[in-house]
A = this chain, B = another copy of it.
Amino acid sequence: MISQKAKYALRALVALAKQPPGAPTFIGEIAEKQKIPKKFLEQILLDLKNHGLVASKRGKAGGYGLLRPADTISFGEVLRIIDGPIAPLPCLSKIAYAKCSDCQEEASCEVRRVFAQVADATRGVLDRTTIADALEARLPPRLRDAVA
């Protein structure tokens, strides 16, 4: 299960991607439309801002907007920022590798071998699907090619 926070972050980014670029969008507007607690959404957007995904403008006519094109922001990137590693086991994480404390040898670990396949399958979807893909209700480019 992904966290509620990650779900909110993705929904907020999708909402921002739907707005016309240029004019910033109020937090309050996103919060209301997407039924996200406003204060909680502030934290989330701040986090995304600190990671360079969105930009904000202060003051009365302020608000948030995407800093990068929607087709360059993958679901995987957002999940890693909000929830941390995507890998099902610490010894399979690319961004936060850690040896399983109780594992004797990784090479012969049966559990690891199976979850390596899970990790590949999951990343295959998450790292290839962008906010723009989600918006357009289509499969991400490479998966589409495979199906076609």
A residues with a Cβ closer than 8 A to B are 1-2, 7-8, 10-11, 14, 34-36, 75, 85, 87-90, 100-102, 104, 110-111, 113-115, 117-118, 121-122, 124-126, 129, 133-135, 137, 139, 143
Chain B contacts of A1 at CB under 8 A?
85, 87-90
Chain A to chain B contacts (Cβ below 8 Å), 23 pairs? A1-B88, A2-B88, A2-B89, A2-B115, A10-B111, A11-B110, A14-B111, A34-B102, A36-B102, A75-B114, A110-B135, A113-B134, A113-B137, A114-B134, A117-B125, A117-B129, A117-B139, A117-B143, A118-B125, A118-B126, A121-B124, A121-B125, A122-B122
Known: A2-B115, A88-B2. A7 touches B100 (CB 8 A): yes
Query: In the complex the two chains form, what is the Cα distance from A129 to B116 in whole Å?
Result: 12
Closest chain-B Cβ to A122's Cβ sits at a distance in Å of 6
Chain B contacts of A87 at CB under 8 A?
1
Chain B contacts of A11 at CB under 8 A?
110-111
